[in-house]
Amino acid sequence: MDAPEQPQLYLITPPELELSLFPDQLAAVLDAHPIACVRLALATRDEDKLSRAADTLREVTHARDVALVISDHTLLAERLGLDGVHLNDAARSVRHARKTLGDDAIVGSYCGGSRHEGMAAGEAGADYVAFGPVQASALDDGSFAETEMFKWWSEVIEIPCVAEGALDEAMIRALAPMTDFFGFGEEIWGQDDPAAALATFVAGMS
């Protein structure tokens, strides 16, 4: 698969969201931009909260023919009729998720900055791998996915990749020629107008 001329857009929900407000925010962004996929990425492990959020957001995404995946909870993805799962343990759960959800489901894998984990996830059946954050910060251990790795991946590996975490306009310009998707989360949801914030980032891709 050739990398698209312009990366596609992938949205990541905030770790906490207000169900009386966020669905309208999400709808506004989906109506303003062509979004490939939305990831429900709540920090909670409360099954009821996760289920209610998934049910609510699924109505918004599916009405616009946009895929909705959930972080890590493979069984919930199946039970709630979501489009798939995004796994945060690199390659470890990919085979199990694929077996549980079937060939038609989306199975994504977050691999930090490790090309080895990315390749292992792809071999295990992941539809895409996500790398990030794309630049160093004081969060976690400060490690990040280097631009050189994205370049190598785009030249050598056919599995689509997502660049996510610590995105800014400079990094978007640098990575646009060598990633298939940009994953936007806190970069837009923290702004007064998420759709307008995303438009600014999109302008930097071309």
Tokens of 119: 């390749």
Q: What was the pLDDT predicted at 59? A: 98
State if pTM tops 0.85: yes
Mean pLDDT score, 63-79: 98
What does the pLDDT average to over 12-39? 98
Q: What are phi and psi of 124, to 5 degrees?
A: -80, -10
Distance CA(65)–CA(58), nearest Å, equals 10
pLDDT digits (tens, 9 = 90+) for 93-135: 999 999 999 999 999 999 999 999 999 999 999 999 999 999 9
d(CA 144, CA 199): 25
Q: Does residue 110 sit in helix, strand or coil? A: strand
CB neighbour list of residue 58: distance below 8 Å, 6 or more residues apart: 68, 80, 81, 82
3-state DSSP assignment of residue 70: strand
Return d(Cα 206, Cα 201) in angstroms, integer.
Answer: 10
Q: Are 150 and 118 in contact (CB under 8 A)?
A: no
What are the domain boundaries of the chain? 8-203
Give me the CATH code for the 8-203 domain, please.
3.20.20.70
